[in-house]
Amino acid sequence: MNRRDFTLALAALPLTACASAPVTRDDDPLVFAYFTTGKQGEAAGLKLAVSDDGFAFRAIADGRSLLLPQVGETKLLRDPFLFHDGSRYHLLWTTAWEGVTIGHVTSHDLVHWSNQQAIPVMAAVPGTRNCWAPEAIRMSDGRFLLFWSSTVTGRYPETDGTSESGYNHRLWQCSTTDFRSFSAPRPLYDPGFSVIDGTFAQAPDGSLHLIVKDETVTPPRKWLRAARADGPAGPFGPLSPPFSPAWVEGPMTARVGDALLCYYDVYKDGRWGAMMTRDMARWQDVSERLSLPAGARHGSLLRVPRTLVDAIA
């Protein structure tokens, strides 16, 4: 698919122009968008939980799915990323273990959703195996930078064989102003090793940082590291030492009081952990304070007006 076809295929996607950011208060709740892999399998859909303090989360709507996946190569919904463009909420997600698309949908109330779209972000890159854990961040010129992890066969041969199943991931990107047309995909971040689950965090001092998971299994690492970013597209500073335990994934961050919390899925143990920092250098393990819904997997966090959360039955 060439870029013209890519644009035309998404021409029907409805989206109003971006306005100002949604009005939220510091005491508005954190909403956790997540998925589960329980009895319903990986098509169980989007679930939401809410927290008043950033530590104890309770499921919304009795833990039922608020969006069932209908698009993508195998119609999965993994790694949901929730954000607001000033006009409405957006959700991005992983649609398949192997493929070239990511999922996208919009909503005003987190209950009623637009038609789902499978955005073929890597269709123009031969050898693409996967598009995992998509996220988005707004840039200073108003565009949205979309980014995700992909393995492209034959790229980065120096780290072939260091991840499971022949994967060799790097972060990729494209940009959009309207979620109808998109720039051509290109690499965003190559730290010299296989990397997934990139997410941006704003430190308490206002600086921007990219947090990534080192996906190296030979030798085993599987931990989180951070690099200061001049902007969403870089340049990026040196990576920090690992600040999480090994064998974690799905980092997501939120400001809680005067600190930044980075939460992560301790997937081998079936639990969540979190580290807290005020300077991106010294980290405190606060995992024992966490309480999340049973079976919750890799997701995202967003402050949402309390009135909207209260309206979700």
Q: pLDDT tens digits, residue range 241-289?
A: 999 999 999 999 999 999 999 999 999 999 999 999 999 999 999 999 9
Any domain includes 17: no
pLDDT recorded at residue 42: 61
pLDDT recorded at residue 2: 39
Count how many domains the chain has: 1
Q: Indicate the residue type of 137.
A: I
CB 242 within 8 Å of CB 280: no
Any domain includes 23: no
Distance (Å, rounded) from C-alpha 263 to C-alpha 298?
10
Any domain includes 209: yes
Q: Which of 292, 239, 221 is nearest to 58 (CA)?
A: 292
Any domain includes 20: no
Q: Which of 91, 84, 102 is nearest to 65 (CA)?
A: 91
Kindly state the average pLDDT of the residues 168-176: 98
Any domain includes 261: yes
CATH of the domain at 58: 2.115.10.20
- Secondary structure (DSSP) of 30-62: EEEEEE--STTGGG--BEEEEESSSSB-EESGG
Any domain includes 59: yes
Any domain includes 21: no
Residue-number span of the structural domain to which 266 is assigned:
3-12+28-311
Would you say the pTM of this structure is higher than 0.85?
Answer: yes
Any domain includes 166: yes
How do residues 9-37 score in pLDDT, each as one tens digit?
333 333 333 333 455 666 889 999 999 98
